[in-house]
Amino acid sequence: DIYEFMTGIKYLNFIADIFKVDADTRQERIRKYADIFEITDDLGQPIAAYSHGMKQKLAIISAWLHNPKLIIMDEPFVGLDPKASHLLKEMMREFCDNGGAIFFSTHVLEVAEKLCDKVAIIKGGRLIKSGTMEEVKGDDSLEDVFLELEDE
């Protein structure tokens, strides 16, 4: 949850405190990610005044702030403008290329097909197919595989 009674900077400092991120590191990372997502000037405002996209950007920054090994995200691209979406995709790829892992849900299968090394298709709360992207989709698109499995 994002605490809307806080300002953006207080929220990020709160998250940094929870994960014991030292002052210098937190300032550097907050500046870096806030600049990337172009919300630096808005961090002093109450989160309640943020748009959905700004709240999404703040949540993403808070996930990256403590340099985790694993990030779990639910529909991370919802509410993001095309530029922020592109930047997030680059951050996700870089994170995984540097040894991290990201587990995320999406209904946008083209995004999953372009970003994911491994994929799982879940129907009715049950895992119905999983593996590397190549194993799951073969010569078809992920969308075609999903629609075929959905019909079964």
3-class state of residue 1 by DSSP: coil
Task: Please determine, for residue 139, whether its predicted confidence score (pLDDT) is greater than 90.
Answer: no
Percent of the chain with pLDDT over 90: 72
Please state, in angstroms and as integers, the Cα–Cα distance from residue 23 to each residue in 28, 41, 44, 69, 120, following that order.
9, 20, 18, 21, 39
| Residue 14 phi, psi (nearest 5) | -60, -50
Contact 70, 104 (CB under 8 A): no
User: Any alpha helices (H) in the chain, and if so which ranges?
Assistant: 8-18, 23-36, 52-64, 82-97, 109-115, 133-137, 142-151
- Residue-range domains of the chain with CATH: 1-103 (3.40.50.300), 106-152 (no CATH)
Task: Please determine, for residue 36, whether its predicted confidence score (pLDDT) is greater than 90.
Answer: yes
Task: Please determine, for residue 37, whether its predicted confidence score (pLDDT) is greater than 80.
Answer: yes
- The pLDDT of 130-135, averaged and rounded, is 91
Contact 121, 146 (CB under 8 A): yes
In the structure, what pLDDT confidence band is assigned to residue 7 with cuts at 50, 70 and 90? very high
Contact 133, 113 (CB under 8 A): yes
Task: Please determine, for residue 150, whether its predicted confidence score (pLDDT) is greater than 80.
Answer: no
The per-residue pLDDT for range 86-113, each reduced to its tens digit, is 999 999 999 999 999 999 998 888 888 8
Indicate the length of the chain as a whole number: 152
Task: Please determine, for residue 151, whether its predicted confidence score (pLDDT) is greater than 80.
Answer: no
| Residue 51 phi, psi (nearest 5) | -75, 170
Distance CA 5, CA 137 (A): 45
The pLDDT score that the predictor gives to residue 45 is 98
